[in-house]
Amino acid sequence: MEDFRLAVNNAVRVGLQARVTSRNALNKLVYKDFRCNHPGMYAQHLVSAFEVAASVMKTYRKRIRAKAEPRTPYVKRLMMKTENQAYKLDRDSGIIDLPIRAGCHVKLKLVVSQYHRRYLDDPTLSLGSLTVLPDRVIVAFRKETPKLYAPESIISLDTNEGSLDGVCLQGNSSTVVKASFPEVAAIQRRHHDRRKKIQKKKAHDRRTSRTLCRREGMREHHRIDHRMHQVANTVLSFAEKHKSAIVLEEFRGMRYKKSKDKDLNRRLSLWPRRKLHQFIEYKAAWTGIPVVKVDPRYSSKKCPICGRIQDSRMCTLFECECGWCQDRHINASINLLQTAISKGLEVAGGLRFDPGAFQHDVMMILYDPVRGARSEPNGTRRVRAVT
């Protein structure tokens, strides 16, 4: 790993001097020199080192373009990465055979859990790159993207701070669906407060403060990811069962006007809606569920029946002069749905959104945190000692 890191950092240095940035160009330029300088190294690994170097430089150039002033890049962490031609993995025993130099191989035994088994035993998955870190090994898998099915229904979802709200449209009937995750905001709030407290308490010791804050951050990250994964999984399994397409709003370019309320600004910027969408999208691609993203413009202000655009945001209820009255979030999701259909999303058997047949009272709960999340100690409860 040290050799690999050295090779990467050398390649970065040479690449920056010569203004060469692509992996292939690096390969042409320095391969011969590097063969002499790193005589022991397996040739395939050198090429991988160039690839890592190229990606390091790419980030560096991005930072320069963003007008940040980055330090000269180098790889600090011990690591090594190889492509799938350069190592062997025995899928039954979980033993990785990694050549280091001529006649010298390293064997790594993976600790294989049931979760890992699922991927190792799946013959449709082929091996991708291998990353070796001091404490773990990352094996990437490749999968041919499955064919998207022809949808028979549509779920359109409006993403809100504590929930995904939407409608599921199937034939002529439409149902309100909801997946709520109110704890996400609460978790962020709690961890934010805790970090503030640590910073105050450890103001005299910045190193400790930083370490503790980082640990808080990691924990927050894990807890939120866990919930987002669960929400995405339940939504997708519902979609798969009903053979539905999923409609989401496109976030790109959406900015919030800074409000005077600092707390609201923070909440909006931290709100992991993009992450949730990413989870939904990649998981959908993995199983072949079609996902459509539409421009959310006016989705919260438009009346889906008469098309009138209200000038101000409504409170919890969206009311229109034509008599249409609906929950604000549901209304937004109906607008998303209509945009998607007008953009050419087709469904087997045809669909018609009939406001008369809209079932106001029936709500299908896709995800409910009480059922979904495992209980976890929140760390704030204190056990009082009984004397």
**Separation CA 286–CA 269 (nearest Å):** 28
Q: Is 322 in the site for Zn ion (CB under 5 A)?
A: yes
**Least CB distance to Zn ion at residue 324 (A):** 5
Hey, what amino acid is at 154? I
Taking CB under 5 A as the criterion, the residue among 25, 305, 314, 373 binding Zn ion is 305
**Least CB distance to Zn ion at residue 314 (A):** 12
Q: Return the number of the residue (324 or 353) whose C-beta is nearest Zn ion.
A: 324
**Least CB distance to Zn ion at residue 328 (A):** 14
Q: Which region, judged by CB under 5 A, interacts with Zn ion, from 35-43, 94-102, 263-271, 324-332?
A: 324-332
**Least CB distance to Zn ion at residue 170 (A):** 24
Q: Would you call 175 helix, strand, or coil by DSSP?
A: strand
Q: Return the number of the residue (163 or 338) whose C-beta is nearest Zn ion.
A: 338
Structure tokens at 278: 């990413």
Taking CB under 5 A as the criterion, the residue among 298, 324, 353, 358 binding Zn ion is 324
Structure tokens at 250: 């496109």
**Separation CA 167–CA 282 (nearest Å):** 22
Q: Return the number of the residue (271 or 298) whose C-beta is nearest Zn ion.
A: 298
Q: Return the number of the residue (104 or 322) whose C-beta is nearest Zn ion.
A: 322
**Least CB distance to Zn ion at residue 299 (A):** 14
Q: Return the number of the residue (7 or 337) whose C-beta is nearest Zn ion.
A: 337
Q: Return the number of the residue (2 or 321) whose C-beta is nearest Zn ion.
A: 321
Q: Return the number of the residue (21 or 310) whose C-beta is nearest Zn ion.
A: 310
Q: Return the number of the residue (150 or 322) whose C-beta is nearest Zn ion.
A: 322
Angle at 155 between CA 151 and CA 157, to 5 degrees: 145
Contact 351, 154 (CB under 8 A): yes
**Alpha-carbon dihedral angle through residues 104, 108, 80, 218, given to the nearest 10 degrees:** -160
Q: Return the number of the residue (218 or 306) whose C-beta is nearest Zn ion.
A: 306
Burial tier of 353 (Cβ tally within 10 Å: 0-12, 13-18, 19+): middle
**Separation CA 360–CA 209 (nearest Å):** 51
**Separation CA 300–CA 323 (nearest Å):** 17
**Separation CA 43–CA 123 (nearest Å):** 29
**Separation CA 314–CA 299 (nearest Å):** 12
Q: Is 334 in the site for Zn ion (CB under 5 A)?
A: no
Taking CB under 5 A as the criterion, the residue among 80, 320, 341, 345 binding Zn ion is 320
**Least CB distance to Zn ion at residue 306 (A):** 3
Please name every residue paired with 108 in a beta bridge, in sequence order, or none if there are none. 96
- Scanning residues 188 to 207, which ones bind Zn ion (CB under 5 A)? none
**Separation CA 272–CA 210 (nearest Å):** 23
Q: Which region, judged by CB under 5 A, interacts with Zn ion, from 42-50, 107-115, 118-126, 295-303?
A: 295-303
Q: Is 306 in the site for Zn ion (CB under 5 A)?
A: yes
Q: Would you call 99 helix, strand, or coil by DSSP?
A: strand
Count interface residues toward Zn ion (CB under 5 A): 7
Structure tokens at 208: 């400790």
Taking CB under 5 A as the criterion, the residue among 46, 303, 332, 341 binding Zn ion is 303
Q: Return the number of the residue (206 or 308) whose C-beta is nearest Zn ion.
A: 308
**Least CB distance to Zn ion at residue 323 (A):** 7
Q: Which region, judged by CB under 5 A, interacts with Zn ion, from 3-11, 155-163, 305-313, 369-377?
A: 305-313
Contact 324, 355 (CB under 8 A): yes
CB atoms within 10 A of CB 90: 13
**Least CB distance to Zn ion at residue 320 (A):** 3
Task: Name the DSSP letter for residue 77.
Answer: S
Structure tokens at 86: 């350069």
Q: Which region, judged by CB under 5 A, interacts with Zn ion, from 97-105, 181-189, 229-237, 320-328?
A: 320-328
Contact set with Zn ion (CB under 5 A):
303, 305-306, 308, 320, 322, 324
